[in-house]
Amino acid sequence: MSKVEIVEVAPRDGLQNIARFVPTEDKISFIRKLRATGIERMEIGSFVSPKAIPQMSDMEEVVKGLGPMPGLRTVALVPNSKGASRAIASGISDLIFVISMSEAHNMSNVRRSVDASIADFGRTLAEIDPEKKLSIRIGLATTFHCPFVGVMDEVEVLRTMCKIVALREGIELTLADTTGMAEPQHVGRFARRCLAEFGNSVQWSFHGHDTAGFGIANVLAALDAGVRSFDGAAAGLGGCPFAPGATGNIATEDLVYLFSRMGIETGIDLAKLLEVAEIAASLSPTPTGSHALAMPRARVLAGGGRLSA
Amino acid sequence: MSKVEIVEVAPRDGLQNIARFVPTEDKISFIRKLRATGIERMEIGSFVSPKAIPQMSDMEEVVKGLGPMPGLRTVALVPNSKGASRAIASGISDLIFVISMSEAHNMSNVRRSVDASIADFGRTLAEIDPEKKLSIRIGLATTFHCPFVGVMDEVEVLRTMCKIVALREGIELTLADTTGMAEPQHVGRFARRCLAEFGNSVQWSFHGHDTAGFGIANVLAALDAGVRSFDGAAAGLGGCPFAPGATGNIATEDLVYLFSRMGIETGIDLAKLLEVAEIAASLSPTPTGSHALAMPRARVLAGGGRLSA
C-alpha cells in the first residue's frame, strides 16, 4: 500500500455547519484553492432545500462559477430526487446520499424510517439514473455509534447495508462515525467484516470525527482493515447538527500529515493545504480541532525529519 | 487482557508547566481528589531546584501535608542525587529520573551528554539505594521523535536503553513521546521490539502527548505491543518546556473513557475523574486538550450505551 485517497468535504460538511452564509465567490475561491493542493475528489456542497440549509442555497451558482475542474471529481450531497435532478442539471455526476444506520437517528435527521429512506433512494436512482452512469456514494451515518442508541448492532447494520447494496452495483459506501464516538477496535472489526462480506462489489471509504480523540486511531483501524479512501475537512470544519455533541470532521491536514509520516502518498501538498486550512479556520466562529494547524508550521513541514533551521 | 494501569502525572507534569505557583494546600487537595477517583500510582511532583522550577519549591510540605496515602504509590521526579535524597528524606520510595534518548534534547534539557546523564544516574543509584529497595522509573524522553533531530534511530535508542538497563534489574522504562509527534506504527513496532529484547527484566509504560492527534492511536499501538501501563494527566495538563510545540499530556479521562469503551478495567471512576479534571482545567490559563471534558457529560458517562434520559 503506497497510496490512499483523501476526499475533501469542507465545502459541504464544513460550510453547512457554519451559521452564516459564505458568499458564492468565497465558496468558489475556497474550492479552487483546495483543488490546487492536489485534492482529486471533493464534496462541494448540498442540493438541499434553501429553507432547511440556507448556507447551501447558491449551489447552482457555485457549480456554474467553478466551470470545468479538470482532474477533480466534484461531488454533491442530495437528499432526494429533487436535489439529485438539480445537481445533475448543473452538470454534477458524482452524488452522495446519506442514510442513517440507526432508526432513531434517521428519524431525527429526515423524519422517516431507514427502510423508507432506502426505498426512496431506490426510486430516486431509477428515476435519475436509468443508465447507471452516475457515481453514487452513500454516507452510512451512525454506522458505529448513534447519539440516541449508543453502540450500533453490527449484524443489524450489515442487514441494512445489504438492502442498499442490492439496489446498485459498484456503489460506494462510506462508513461514517457521525458522532466521533466509534471505538477503534469496533471500526477495525466492522470494516474488516464489511470488506469480507461485500468485497469488491462495493467501494469503501471512512468518514470520521475526533470528538473523543479517537479520530486518527479510527482512520488507522479502517486502513488496517483495507479501506483506502478517507474523508477529511480542511481545518477540521464540520460537525453534525443532528448529532448533539459531535465535533468537527477529522482535519484533512491531520490526515495528510499522518500519511506522509507513514510514507503513504495522498497526492496532496501539505504546505499549500495548511494555507487553505487557515482560510477554512477563519470561516469558523469557534476554534477548530485541527492538530497540524495548531503545531508550529516548520515542525509540521519537517515531517519526521529534523528542522532545517 | 482485562486490566491496565493509568499513572496520573498532572500534579507533576501538569503543575510544573503552569506558570503560576499553585498553593501547597491546593496541590494536596488536588492529589487527594485524584486519589479518590481510584488512581493507584501518581507522580506528585518534582524534587528539583526551586530556582529552575519554582512551582515545585514546596515538595516537602506537599508530602508532609499528604501524610500516608494507603493504596497509592506516590512517585516523585528527581533530577540528581540531591533531589533523590530530598525525596527519600520526605518518605518517598518511588522515583522517576528522566533521560533523553536524543543527545540534542538531553543537552538542551540538562546540558550534558546522554552518557553523562546515564553515568550520573548510576552513581546516584549506588549512593541513594545500595540495598535496591526503591522503585525506579526512567522516563525515556524523545524515544520516538525529538524536536531537534526528528524521528529517532531505533537501534541507537535500543543501545542507550541497554546501558540504562545494565545499571539496575527490575527497572521501569517509560517510552515517552515527548513531542507528541511519534507516528503510531513506529510506537507499535518499537514497543514490540523493546519487549522482545528486554522482556520481563524491565517493566514497561508509555507516556504520550496528543500534539498531532496521534495520542490515542499511539496508546493503542503500545497496548497492542504488550504495554500495560499508561501515563495520563487530568484535563490533559502538561507539555514540555524544552520541546517547543508539544501540547499537553494525553488526558487521563480520555484514557479511562477509551479503556472503558474497550471493556478494559482501569479501576478509575470516570464520573469522579471528570469532576477533578474540571479543577485541573481551571488551573490552566489556556484551553486544555481533553476530549472527554469537552463532550456532553451524560454522553461520556453513557459509555457505549444509550443515553438514559
Q: In the prediction, which pLDDT does A303 show? A: 86
Query: Nearest CA to B249 among B9, B6, B38?
Result: B9
Could you tell me which residues come within 8 angstroms of residue B73 by beta carbon, excluding any fewer than 6 positions away?
B40, B41, B42, B94, B135
Q: Which residues of chain A neighbour B299 with C-beta distances below 8 Å?
A: 147, 181, 245
Phi, psi angle pair for B46, to nearest 5°: -125, 130
* CA distance linking residue B276 with residue B269, whole number of Å: 11
B289 band by pLDDT with thresholds 50, 70 and 90: confident
* A295: chain B residues, CB-CB within 8 Å: 211-212, 245
Mean of pLDDT values over B241-257: 80
Q: Would you call B291 and A212 a contact, using CB atoms and an 8 Å cutoff?
A: yes
Q: B50, B51, B32: which is closest to B42 by C-alpha?
A: B32
| pLDDT for position B246 | 59
CB burial of residue B52 (10 Å; 0-12, 13-18, 19+): exposed
Complex-level ipTM: 0.95
Residues in chain B within 8 Å Cβ distance of A292 = 212-213
Q: Which of B142, B178, B211 to mutate to test the interface with A (most CBs of A within 10 A)?
A: B211
The CATH number given to B5-301 is: 3.20.20.70
Q: How far is B18 from chain A (nearest CA, A)?
A: 19
CB A183 within 8 A of CB B304: yes
| Residues contacting residue B36 through CB under 8 Å, at least 6 positions apart | B272, B276
Give the β-pairing of B150-151 and B145-146. antiparallel
Q: Which chain B residue is nearest to residue A151, measuring alpha carbons?
A: B304
The residues of A whose Cβ lies within 8 A of any Cβ of B are 145, 147-151, 181, 183-185, 210-217, 220, 244-245, 247, 250-251, 254, 257-258, 261-262, 287, 291-292, 294-296, 299, 302-307
* CA terminus-to-terminus distance, chain A: 33
> In 3D, which of B300, B291, B237, B260 has the Cα closest to residue A291?
B291
- Which SS3 state, helix, strand or coil, does residue B294 take? coil
Contact A151, A140 (CB under 8 A): no
Give the model's pLDDT for residue B285: 83
Cα A165 to chain centroid distance, Å, stands at 19
Taking Cα atoms as reference points, which of B277, B280, B307, B279 lies closest to residue B292? Answer: B277
CB contact under 8 A, A183 and B304: yes
Across B29-35, average pLDDT: 98
pLDDT in 10s for each residue of chain A, 309 residues: 699 999 999 999 999 988 899 999 999 999 999 999 999 999 999 999 999 999 999 999 999 999 999 999 999 999 999 999 999 999 999 999 999 999 999 999 889 999 999 999 999 999 999 999 999 999 999 999 998 999 999 999 999 999 999 999 899 999 999 999 999 999 999 999 999 999 889 999 999 999 999 999 999 999 999 999 999 999 999 875 555 555 789 999 999 999 999 999 999 999 999 999 999 999 988 888 899 999 989 889 998 887 654
Amino acid at A213: G
Residues of B in Cβ contact (< 8 Å) with A217 = 184, 216-217, 220
Nearest residue of A to residue B185, measured between CA atoms? A262
**pLDDT confidence of residue B241:** 52
What is the distance in angstroms between the Cα of B261 and the nearest Cα belonging to chain A?
A: 7
Contact state of B212 with A291 under an 8 Å Cβ cutoff: yes
Q: Is the pLDDT of residue B240 over 80?
A: no
> CA nearest B16: which of B173, B278, B242?
B242
Quote the pLDDT of residue A309: 45
B194: annotated active-site residue = no
Average pLDDT of the residues in B24-32? 98
Q: Which of these ranges, B202-206, B278-282, B305-309, has the smallest mean pLDDT?
A: B305-309
Count, in order, helices (H) and strands (E) of chain A. Answer: 11, 10
Q: What is the pLDDT of residues B121-139, one digit of tens each?
A: 999 999 999 999 999 999 9
Min distance B166 CA to chain A CA atoms (Å): 30
CB contact under 8 A, B305 and A150: yes
First to last CA, chain B: 33
Instruction: Compute the mean pLDDT over every residue in chain B, rounded to the nearest whole number.
Output: 94
| Cβ neighbours of B262 in A, within 8 Å | 183, 185
Searching chain B, which residue's CA lies closest to the CA of residue A214? Answer: B216
Name the residue of chain B whose CA is nearest to A181's CA. Answer: B304
C-alpha torsion sign, points B195, A212, B74, B53: positive
Stated as kind and residue range, the H or E segment containing B126 is helix B114-128
Catalytic residue among B146, B162, B194, B240: B240
pLDDT, mean of residues B219-244: 88
Comparing alpha-carbon positions, the chain B residue that sits nearest to A289 is B213
B interface with A, Cβ–Cβ below 8 Å: 145, 147-151, 181, 183-185, 210-217, 220, 244-245, 247, 250-251, 254, 257-258, 261-262, 287, 291-292, 294-296, 299, 302-307
Chosen for mutation from A143, A148, A154, A181 (greatest number of chain B CBs closer than 10 Å) is A181
Q: How far is CA A15 from the centre of its chain?
A: 13
Q: Is the pLDDT of residue B309 over 50?
A: no
pLDDT for position A244:
53
Task: Give the residue from A40, A17, A119, A128 showing the smallest Cα distance to A83.
Answer: A128
